[in-house]
Chains A and B, each alone.
Chain A
Amino acid sequence: MQSFTLILVLLVLTVVGFRLGRGRAVSVVGGETRKLHSLPSYYGMYVALWCGIPAFLMLGLWLAFQDTILTQMTLASLPDTALVGPDGERMSDSRIGLLLNDIRNTAQGNIASASTEIVREAAAYYNSLKATGGWLLTVVVLALAVGGAGWAWKRVSPDLRARNGVELAVKVFMVICSTIAIFTTIGIILSLLFESLRFFSKVPVTEFLFGTHWSPQISLRADQVGSSGSFGAIPLFAGTFLISAIAMAVAVPIGLLSAIYMAEYAPRKVRGIVKPMLEILAGIPTVVYGFFAALTVAPFFRDSGQLFGLSISSESALAAGLVMGIMIIPFVSSLSDDVITAVPNAMREGSYGLGATHSETIKRVVLPAALPGIVGGILLAVSRAIGETMIVVMAAGLAANLTANPFEAVTTVTVQIVTLLVGDQEFDSPKTLAAFALGLVLFTITLVLNVIALRVVRKYREQYE
């Protein structure tokens, strides 16, 4: 909470800086503000920025690195004997991590498991370092704020181009904001690649991509039954493909036909009612669909299967795929609706003039003209189906079956990512790292689909505009 008070104090100082800077600008020219280069409030902002930015940067840097610095210092202060394990060897990194965790917990006053004398001493040292650091930070940050404001305040004169300075700062802020998208992409690629490479150093790429057996259990003991974790991802890809295919088989006909009806036939009134109703489907959170699939649709299929003597798993790919299809309908229909209405009327009228009926015009003229856009929309929908998580996590199975039977349970890439990463895991076991390798595959596939889809859509648009 100390940093919270500090932030408040800094905000107050910034406001004070604004008033002082503005006041000085006015008083320097004796109230004749037209002699100033900029409007008086720009001088205020100039001083406020000089007061706030360096101080907040300092504060941010400290908060980001405080933990690392303090931990390293505490670690360095520990006597060598503390780092020797019971077997007389130096502790491994993970054991040191556990020790540090213990120290941190003790320092925060949480009851740590059997804290030893060394841990308690280290915790006290950690706390004293933290307190000193906190005071040092307060002093430095306040000095920066007051110093920056004072320097800027002294510079206030009629010739100071305060507005340009302020505008430069705003512009720099905007440029930084606009690059966040790039940094996010880089962050995604780097983190996925980095962890995947660590995974592939333990499991060969070829086994991962072409292996047909997936059972990511890692043994605790060497002689355990079923100890060899195997990471052949083909069953996952097959399961993802099966569920997505079922979803598309539901979504494409319904979405496309309703889009055609809406764009070509429906009276304005019907359109006004039905379109928002379909858009409701797009706004429902996926966890709701998951619940619907797991507790309504799947039991319904299982029971009706029993009626016909079919054995349908209660985690069947059919239920997950059907509900995923429902989720994707508005996606397909709104994208198709857009491209169909974008087809120029002249083409329709030409077709009518030749004597074609409405449906013939649609099938022979409008749809071929709109096809690239529709294909693009469907590709986007496929990428959405592949990346969809909650429906399959809740309604699809966990066991990796290599089957094309929609009545059986299959698992998908996203399900496995979630099951591998939820819960307490060692971060460097192949089991957790496998999730990142799956994530990399997922990211690559959806990226390729999106790029193709966007290119197809864009190319098509250029034809008519």
Chain B
Amino acid sequence: MASPNPNAYDPAAAAAAEGTAVSTRTRTTADIVNAGLKGRYRAEKRFRMYGVIAIAAALMMVTTLFVSIVSKGYTAFAITSISLPVTVERDLVANAEGEITDRSIAFANYAAPLRAALEAQFPEVESRSERRALYEILSDGASFQLQRMIEENPDLIGREFTMTSPVSSDFDVLNKGQIDLTVPENMRRVSDAQAGWFEALQERGLIETTFNTNLFTNGDSRQPELAGIWGAVVGSFYTLMVTLLLSFPIGVAAAVYLEEFAPKNKWTDLIEVNINNLAAVPSIVFGLLGLAVFLQVFGLPRSAPVVGGLVLTLMTLPTIIIASRAALKSVPPSIREAALGVGASKLQMITHHVLPLAMPGMLTGTIIGMAQALGETAPLLMIGMVAFVVDIPGGPMDPATVLPVQIYLWADSPERAFVAKTSAAIMVLLAFLVFMNAAAVLLRKKFERRW
């Protein structure tokens, strides 16, 4: 490391200047070391700096990641809605005989009164194409919403009432200021005329921004303003439940056997090697296994949380087994010997003494395994959980999707508004993960015992 820099050492230079000592005294080891010291200290500082830079770079990346997601996604928690005075005429919902029945209500054309309500705001709009552009302000879901209102409350028929419904996603984006109106008109999704009408509506106080409950109560939809994550959350819940119910008992039983009962032989070695390898197998391979075995051989339904749960069980088992074995190992042998000493059988010793003491560690491992399973996407794509599912799944056999897959699907959608939706869904997913990991940390802090 010593850099050959003769000028660095002052005493040597001084000695050379004196001229007398140089001939008698050659450079000692100390001189050589001292000569290099400055350079070495610089190298030391530089090396330290590299470490700091590396950490700073890593932290900067974490920050960039979070900032970019939050800044993209926070707007999705708000939604723009429009309040319009709407009149549903009796003629519209009556059938051919002029009576109002459940059937006639179900089949009426609810888009018409909404369009009429919009036209009433802008009497100057005449031409067909202009009117069509005007209708685009309302979400496609508005007519379904009107239908539901009428079905629930038939008294509204024939009266004027105010209906508040979301505007379509382009105008939602416009209201949030994410459309640059200085861009040439044909390069953006909202025309100048539409922007003008929207501004007029804003001035009349008909437009308001509220908390987006659709995001948390609806299933998926092609319309960004109606799409929600509830279907995916429920799907994730069923999938995780199946995973938990299978992987926890199996993992604990396997860990207990390997740690407490198994003789040390080739067979148990093989099991251990297998567990360690499975922990590092790419997750997509588990998806291929699920496709070939669970779907093709056993004929289980595609897209069902049950199959997802089975695949994720196989994936999380190594994590749970390894954590549970570590927890069992940390229980001191004296506990075991005491139990055996008072006459307990081996299984009694385990169930009465060892397992309760090891349980916090096992639970921590299980929660971490579940958090992994919650964030897993690739294997679920293989078994068909990428379907576009609008309905909220009613059970573990129904077609469903999960939160990360929903994020993947939305990230692929072309609509601008889905970018914010995706980021919002990511924030929800991260919130769940933070919650689970915090629970694991708390559990460990609270119950961890040092023997």
Contact across chains for B62 and A277 when beta carbons are under 8 A apart: yes
B interface, over-half SS: helix
Chain B interface (Cβ < 8 Å from any Cβ of A):
1, 33, 40-41, 43-44, 47-48, 50-55, 57-59, 61-62, 64-65, 68-69, 72, 249-251, 253-254, 256-258, 261-262, 270-271, 274-278, 280-286, 288-289, 291-293, 296, 298-299, 314, 317-318, 321, 345-347, 371, 374-378, 381-382, 386, 404-405, 407-408, 411-412, 419, 422-423, 426, 429-430, 433, 437
Contact across chains for A447 and B277 when beta carbons are under 8 A apart: yes
Residue in B59, B275, B288, B386 with the greatest tally of chain A CB atoms within 10 Å: B288
Contact across chains for A181 and B408 when beta carbons are under 8 A apart: no
Residue in B277, B285, B299 with the greatest tally of chain A CB atoms within 10 Å: B285
Query: Contacts A68-B299, A258-B51 given: A285-B317 contact, CB under 8 Å?
Result: no
Contact across chains for B407 and A287 when beta carbons are under 8 A apart: yes
22 A-B contacts (beta carbon < 8 Å):
A167-B347, A171-B347, A177-B250, A177-B254, A188-B289, A192-B292, A254-B58, A258-B51, A261-B48, A295-B419, A357-B40, A357-B43, A360-B1, A384-B280, A387-B281, A389-B282, A389-B284, A390-B404, A418-B381, A421-B381, A427-B296, A443-B282
The reply to whether the CB of A329 lies closer than 8 angstroms to some CB of chain B is: yes
Contact across chains for B43 and A355 when beta carbons are under 8 A apart: no
Tell me the bound Cα distance from A195 to B285 in angstroms: 13
Q: What chain B residues lie within 8 Å of A265 (beta carbons)? A: 48, 51
Residue in A174, A194, A296, A439 with the greatest tally of chain B CB atoms within 10 Å: A174
* A288 CB contact (under 8 Å) in B57, B69, B256, B284: B69
Q: What chain A residues lie within 8 Å of B419 (beta carbons)? A: 295
Contact across chains for B376 and A285 when beta carbons are under 8 A apart: yes
* A258 CB contact (under 8 Å) in B55, B250, B271, B280: B55
> Besides A287-B405, A288-B407, 6 other CB < 8 A contacts?
A192-B285, A286-B375, A292-B65, A333-B58, A386-B282, A439-B288
The reply to whether the CB of A294 lies closer than 8 angstroms to some CB of chain B is: yes
Residues of A within 8 Å of B, CB-based: how many? Answer: 88
* A389 CB contact (under 8 Å) in B61, B378, B426: B378
Query: Contacts A181-B254, A285-B433, A389-B378 given: A261-B58 contact, CB under 8 Å?
Result: no
Instruction: Pick the 5 closest A-B CB pairs, nearest first.
Output: A387-B282, A261-B51, A285-B375, A257-B54, A191-B292
Q: Mark A148-191, 1 if CB is under 8 A from B, else 0.
A: 00000000000000010001001101110111111011011001
Contact across chains for A184 and B433 when beta carbons are under 8 A apart: no
> Taking the nearest CB of chain B, how far is it from the CB of A436, in angstroms?
6
Chain A residues 92 to 149 lying within 8 A of chain B, measured CB to CB, are none
Q: Mark A439-452, 1 if CB is under 8 A from B, else 0.
A: 10011001100110
Q: What chain A residues lie within 8 Å of B261 (beta carbons)? A: 171, 174
The reply to whether the CB of A307 lies closer than 8 angstroms to some CB of chain B is: no
Q: What chain B residues lie within 8 Å of A181 (beta carbons)? A: 254, 271, 274-275, 278, 317-318, 321
Tell me the bound Cα distance from A137 to B54 in angstroms: 65
* A178 CB contact (under 8 Å) in B65, B69, B271: B271
Contact across chains for B284 and A442 when beta carbons are under 8 A apart: yes
> Taking the nearest CB of chain A, how far is it from the CB of B275, in angstroms?
5
Query: Contacts A257-B50, A262-B55, A394-B411 given: A380-B281 contact, CB under 8 Å?
Result: no
Q: What chain A residues lie within 8 Å of B412 (beta carbons)? A: 394
Q: What chain B residues lie within 8 Å of A447 (beta carbons)? A: 277, 281
> Taking the nearest CB of chain B, how far is it from the CB of A331, in angstroms?
11
Query: Contacts A254-B58, A261-B51, A265-B51 given: A387-B283 contact, CB under 8 Å?
Result: yes
Tell me the bound Cα distance from A417 to B283 in angstroms: 12
Tell me the bound Cα distance from A62 to B407 in angstroms: 38
Residue in B61, B284, B345, B404 with the greatest tally of chain A CB atoms within 10 Å: B284
Contact across chains for A173 and B253 when beta carbons are under 8 A apart: yes
Closest to A68 in B: B299
The reply to whether the CB of A8 lies closer than 8 angstroms to some CB of chain B is: no
Query: Contacts A67-B299, A380-B280, A414-B378 given: A362-B285 contact, CB under 8 Å?
Result: no
Residue in A295, A355, A359, A421 with the greatest tally of chain B CB atoms within 10 Å: A359
The reply to whether the CB of A267 lies closer than 8 angstroms to some CB of chain B is: no
Contact across chains for B43 and A184 when beta carbons are under 8 A apart: no
Contact across chains for B345 and A254 when beta carbons are under 8 A apart: no
The reply to whether the CB of A291 lies closer than 8 angstroms to some CB of chain B is: yes
Contact across chains for A261 and B288 when beta carbons are under 8 A apart: no
Contact across chains for B317 and A180 when beta carbons are under 8 A apart: yes
> Taking the nearest CB of chain B, how far is it from the CB of A37, in angstroms?
12
Q: Mark A413-454, 1 if CB is under 8 A from B, else 0.
A: 010011001100001000000011001001100110011001
Contact across chains for A292 and B411 when beta carbons are under 8 A apart: no
Closest to A253 in B: B54
Closest to B56 in A: A258
The reply to whether the CB of A284 lies closer than 8 angstroms to some CB of chain B is: yes
